[in-house]
């Protein structure tokens, strides 16, 4: 074992004491934030413009402290989830390639039918696959391709679904995070491809949402700080924000079971610089827990077209809570889509072997880089001779 | 030998004393404890015979979470069907090797080599069971096996072998098997009595 736990003992104990001390301060901050939420609840319109300047949650027409109860859902409705995982290109490996595996599940509430489960792996190995200009498709570039593959799968499934209420779900966010070192037109093209899939879901008559479990966002906390300094973005930027590290979810733990908070617009620059108006991403917080259980606050993101239609918004709200209550706190379809997408270390090893065999059959003698080779020797488990 | 029997699953791991099979789903007509099964040996046209001595469903944390979440009535049917029809439920079937046939006829002994990973395991047909239990030399292999519930397994295998015969032959078959057991367990009358009561 190379991680010598004995050397961490004192630090771990100090961490526990620090967290315990922070608990009381945290409780005081939550109380302050909730007081401000009630106090400035009707100032949404006044705060809308300055909120964007300080990257705070942008209020909509709903009072900031609103709580909307769990709406009724239709007797029959469908929830479709897709999730993806990937094998990154490894320059030390026997060959340069990447794999994206998208798992999806179609769950028809009220049908009694077995859900439809599916996994679709894609291998990228040509130069056209592997490079964008001079950049290797890895890291953020591969994440973007995986996100697009997930949404494309959802759009395909929504298009194939018979008429009826349908909600498409992804895990995470609907804001495509594209690194800024790409040229602006390159970023816009990637976002447009993503928005095209949102369009397809919209035109299929379905709704779409992203579910973020245990979110750490502080967009609403920043908005409350802005409200407390009179809505002046300069003061908000200059004066210390007592709620700086308070996650929004702590503020909304008072939501009744199944209820959602007010809607806000995400302040992400990508949302405003690259998303068309009809797709601008909104969010709210939802208490997904059942009656009598501790609150489970999740962040739910939806495009503008889904929140502007009261029926679609209610369906997404009801469907997410119905799904989370199957497992207790997290949408069942997302848990299963993740399971269907996940590539285990054994599967990675087996796929590496498959690639090695294919290369040999094609007459190519491939080898790991010296660095990768020695890692295979040293990471088998270190032994000590004393 | 033809592979006409029901496929039980594929070999996960094996030794000459036995092997473990992985199944995706437990079917109602899947062979149960005490069933005779066979796998192809590594030599062409060779067969390894065995008895199923354990069927286990591996632990699944996701299922455990669903149980603790107390599924609502409206979700139960869909979720249960998802788990049974779509998820790879990890069922393992353990087999004790009790004989082999390398083209020279059935012999009740451990095979020289185990089956290979991912080979199919088949349930024996009635004809194969009758042929295998025409002699009782495999009793000793079962009775001496340490890791299996030997008496239960032997009794279950004899009931299966009797059921594979015409009704008119079953009693005579079991009486003959009982005589062989009496010979093998002459020094342990308590164990013999317990085993005979299970037939």
State pLDDT tens for residues B151-174. Answer: 999 999 999 999 999 999 999 999
Q: Which residues of B touch A327 (CB under 8 A)?
A: 65-66, 69
**Domain tally for chain A?**
1
- What is residue B133's DSSP assignment? T
Q: Does the pLDDT of residue B3 top 60, yes or no?
A: no
Cβ distance B78 to A115 less than 8 Å, yes or no, reads yes
Cβ distance B81 to A111 less than 8 Å, yes or no, reads no
Q: Considering only residues 69 to 98 of chain B, which have any Cβ-Cβ distance to chain A shorter than 8 Å?
A: 69, 71-72, 74-75, 77-79, 81-82, 84-87
User: Which tens digits make up the pLDDT trace of A347-367?
Assistant: 888 888 888 888 888 888 777
Q: Is A309 within a domain?
A: yes
Q: Report strand pairing: A297-303 vs A281-287.
A: antiparallel
Cβ distance A332 to B79 less than 8 Å, yes or no, reads yes
Query: How large is the average pLDDT for residues A311-339?
Result: 96
Provide, rounded to the nearest whole percent, the portion of chain A with pLDDT above 90: 79
pLDDT at B25: 63
pLDDT at B46: 87
Residue ranges covered by each domain of chain B:
7-198
Q: Is A169 within a domain?
A: yes
Q: Report strand pairing: A166-171 vs A77-87.
A: parallel
pLDDT at A15: 94
pLDDT-derived band of residue A69, with 50, 70 and 90 as boundaries? very high
Q: Is A139 within a domain?
A: yes
Nearest to A171 by CA among A214, A232, A219: A214
pLDDT-derived band of residue A380, with 50, 70 and 90 as boundaries? low
Compute the nearest-CA separation of A112 from chain B (Å): 5
Contact between A113 and B81 under an 8 Å Cβ cutoff? The reply is yes
Q: How many whole angstroms separate alpha carbon A376 and alpha carbon A370?
A: 10
Compare CB distances from B78 to A113, A117, A328 and report the shortest one's residue.
Answer: A113
pLDDT at B2: 40
Compare CB distances from B86 to A117, A328, A332 and report the shortest one's residue.
Answer: A117
The residue with greater pLDDT, B57 or A235, is: A235
Of A282-296, B69-83, B181-195, the least confident:
B69-83
Q: Does the pLDDT of residue B59 top 80, yes or no?
A: no
Q: Does the pLDDT of residue A237 top 70, yes or no?
A: yes
Q: What's the distance, CA A386 to chain centroid?
A: 49
The residue with greater pLDDT, B117 or A329, is: A329
Domain that holds residue A210: 58-215+242-341
pLDDT at A366: 75
Cβ distance B62 to A335 less than 8 Å, yes or no, reads yes
pLDDT at A368: 78
Q: Is B66 an interface residue toward A (CB < 8 Å)? A: yes
Q: Is A44 within a domain?
A: no
Q: Does the pLDDT of residue B120 top 80, yes or no?
A: yes
Cβ distance A328 to B78 less than 8 Å, yes or no, reads no
Cβ distance B86 to A115 less than 8 Å, yes or no, reads yes
Query: How large is the average pLDDT for residues B177-183?
Result: 95
pLDDT at B42: 76
- Please list the alpha-helical segments (H only) found in chain B: 61-68, 73-81, 126-132, 138-143, 150-163, 167-184, 189-198
Size of interface A-B (CB pairs under 8 A): 47
Query: How large is the average pLDDT for residues A105-110?
Result: 97
Residues of chain A by 3-state class (helix, strand, coil), percent to 5 = 45, 20, 35
Q: How many whole angstroms separate alpha carbon A126 and alpha carbon A10?
A: 51
Beta-carbon contacts of residue B81 (< 8 Å; ≥ 6 apart):
A112, A113, A114, A115
For residue B81, the chain A residue with the least C-alpha distance is: A114
First to last CA, chain B: 31
Query: What's the predicted TM-score (pTM) here?
Result: 0.81
CATH code of the domain in which A321 resides? 3.30.2170
Q: CB atoms < 10 A from the CB of A56, how many?
A: 25
Residues of chain B by 3-state class (helix, strand, coil), percent to 5 = 40, 25, 35
For tokens 């409350």, what's the residue?
A: A224
Cα distances from A170 to residues A147, A207, A281, in angstroms, run 9, 12, 14
Q: Is A92 within a domain?
A: yes
Query: How large is the average pLDDT for residues A125-136?
Result: 92
């Amino acid at each position: 074992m190379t991680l010598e736990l004995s050397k961490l003992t004192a630090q771990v104990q100090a961490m526990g004491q620090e967290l315990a001390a922070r608990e009381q301060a945290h409780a005081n901050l939550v109380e302050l934030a909730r007081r401000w939420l009630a106090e400035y609840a009707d100032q949404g319109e006044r705060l809308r413009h300055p909120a964007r300047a300080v990257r705070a949650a942008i209020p909509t027409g709903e009072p900031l402290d609103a709580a909307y109860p769990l709406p009724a859902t239709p007797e029959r409705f469908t929830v479709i989830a897709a999730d993806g995982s990937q094998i990154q290109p490894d320059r030390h490996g026997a060959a340069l390639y990447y794999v994206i595996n998208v798992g999806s599940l179609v769950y028809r509430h009220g049908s009694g039918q077995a859900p439809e489960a599916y996994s679709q792996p894609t291998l990228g190995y040509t130069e056209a696959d592997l490079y964008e200009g001079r950049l290797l498709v890895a890291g953020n570039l591969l994440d973007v391709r995986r996100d697009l593959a997930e949404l494309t799968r959802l759009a395909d499934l929504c298009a194939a679904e018979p008429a009826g209420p349908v909600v498409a779900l992804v895990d995470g966010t609907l804001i495509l995070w594209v690194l800024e070192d790409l040229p602006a037109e390159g970023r816009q093209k990637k976002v447009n491809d993503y928005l095209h899939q949102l369009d397809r879901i919209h035109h299929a008559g379905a709704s779409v949402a992203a579910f973020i479990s245990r979110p750490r966002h502080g967009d609403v906390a920043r908005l409350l700080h802005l409200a407390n300094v009179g809505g002046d973005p300069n003061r908000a930027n200059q004066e210390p924000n007592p709620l700086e590290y308070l996650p929004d979810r702590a503020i909304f733990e008072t939501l009744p079971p199944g209820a959602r908070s007010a809607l806000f617009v995400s302040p992400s620059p990508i949302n405003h610089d690259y998303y068309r108006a009809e797709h601008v991403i909104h969010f709210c917080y939802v208490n997904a827990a059942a009656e009598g259980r501790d609150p489970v606050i999740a962040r739910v993101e939806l495009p503008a077209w889904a929140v502007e239609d009261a029926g679609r918004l209610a369906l997404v709200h009801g469907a997410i809570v119905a799904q989370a209550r199957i497992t207790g706190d997290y949408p069942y379809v997302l848990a299963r889509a993740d399971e269907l997408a996940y590539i285990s270390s054994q599967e990675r090893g087996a796929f590496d072997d498959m690639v090695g065999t294919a290369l040999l059959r094609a007459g190519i003698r491939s080898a790991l880089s010296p660095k990768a080779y020695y890692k295979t020797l040293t990471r088998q488990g270190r032994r000590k001779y004393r | 030998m033809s592979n006409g029997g029901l496929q039980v699953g594929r070999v996960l791991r094996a030794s000459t004393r036995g092997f473990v099979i992985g199944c995706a789903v437990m079917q109602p007509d899947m062979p149960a404890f005490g069933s005779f099964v066979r796998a192809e040996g590594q030599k062409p046209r060779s067969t390894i015979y065995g008895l199923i001595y354990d069927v286990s469903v591996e632990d699944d944390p996701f299922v455990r979470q669903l149980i603790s979440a107390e599924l609502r009535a409206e979700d139960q049917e869909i979720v249960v069907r998802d788990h049974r029809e779509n998820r790879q439920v990890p069922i393992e079937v353990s087999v004790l090797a009790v004989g082999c046939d390398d083209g020279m006829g059935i012999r009740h002994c451990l095979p020289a080599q185990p089956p290979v990973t991912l080979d199919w395991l088949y349930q024996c047909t009635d004809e194969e069971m009758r042929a295998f239990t025409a002699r009782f030399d495999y009793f000793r292999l079962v009775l001496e096996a340490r890791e299996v519930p030997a008496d239960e397994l032997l009794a279950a295998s004899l009931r299966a072998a009797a059921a594979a015969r015409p009704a008119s032959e079953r009693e005579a078959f079991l009486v003959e098997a009982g005589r062989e057991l009496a010979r093998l367990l002459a020094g342990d009358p308590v164990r013999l009595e317990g085993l005979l009561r299970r037939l």
